[in-house]
Amino acid sequence: TKNRLRAYGLHTVCEEAFCPNLGRCWKHGRATIMLLGDRCTRGCRFCNVDKHSVLPPDPDEPARVAAAVSETGLKEVVLTSVTRDDLPDGGAAHWAQTIEAVHAAVPGILVEVLVPDFNGTPDDIATVVHARPDVFGHNLETVPRLYPLARPQADYARSLAVLRQAAEAGMIVKTSLMLGLGETLAEIEQTLRDARSAGCDIFYAGQYLQPSPRHLPVARYVDPSEFDVLRDTALSLGFGYVASAPLVRSSYHEDGQTAFVRQQTPHVSAETCAKMR
């Protein structure tokens, strides 16, 4: 899988983020491909992605992603990207082209997207929704109090609005949190309530691990039993599927999530998308 994706000049979050689940995902026909280059316009202090000058989007990337996914025989693919505040639409059209190309190349494949906030622009979010991914993901990452520390260029309310717009359009919606940055249990529970109120169906939580000495330090290693309690809390709030454990990552696909998604019926019509614009 790695060699074939590299042959197409593609970047995987699996490698960029040093994901601890890389081997298992690739073995089971799953991969997370990063679109729009490997350089980000933002500087989140937990993220290992390069923050240097970005490059123009590659117009051939959607076709290359589709070809690579087809050739590797992937059953599920997660598409994500760096944040591209330099682009007028944040890269939304590129996103849509890639989703549509993958679906056309591999009918029946499960396509999950993990998108940036597109600066909260409804038209750009609608562009991605209209391409009909099977799961629409956008990460809250942490509790609102820690945004200035961990995500200084992001906004908690804006991220909730992204999730809400996708949910109101009929998407299966997913978000996740990193734990261990200094959040309290009360803050986590309130964030769960906020996410559920915004329409999230799937929730993931995992332990934050410091990528390098220049990133935010780990404030606390959360006991595995606390992740179990968090899972029960999220399920009690009405989330349809929850994964909560130290090594869980937002782009990690559990078999249980796949089964949950396959059982759902997204209700995203052209009329719905038109109303979003």
| Domain CATH for 194 | 3.20.20.70
Encoded tokens for 128:
């991605």
Q: Is the pLDDT score of 145 beyond 50?
A: yes
Share of the chain above pLDDT 70, in %: 79
CB 212 within 8 A of CB 177: no
Q: Is the pLDDT score of 183 beyond 70?
A: yes
Return the pLDDT at 111. Answer: 96
DSSP class of residue 274? H
Tell me the pLDDT tens digit for each residue of 206-219. Answer: 999 988 888 889 99
Tell me the pLDDT tens digit for each residue of 32-51. Answer: 898 988 777 776 666 766 66
Return the pLDDT at 270. Answer: 47
**Number of domains, the chain:** 1
Q: Give the whole-angstrom CA distance, residue 15 versus residue 38.
A: 11
CB 188 within 8 A of CB 143: yes
Share of the chain above pLDDT 90, in %: 64
Tell me the pLDDT tens digit for each residue of 92-120. Answer: 999 999 999 999 999 999 999 999 999 99
> What Rg do the C-alpha atoms of the chain give, in angstroms?
17
Angle between helix axes 185-197 and 224-236 (nearest 10 degrees) is 30
Q: Is the pLDDT score of 24 beyond 60?
A: no
DSSP class of residue 119? G
Boundaries of domain holding 134 = 2-276
Tell me the pLDDT tens digit for each residue of 232-248. Answer: 999 999 999 999 999 99
Residue type, 238: G
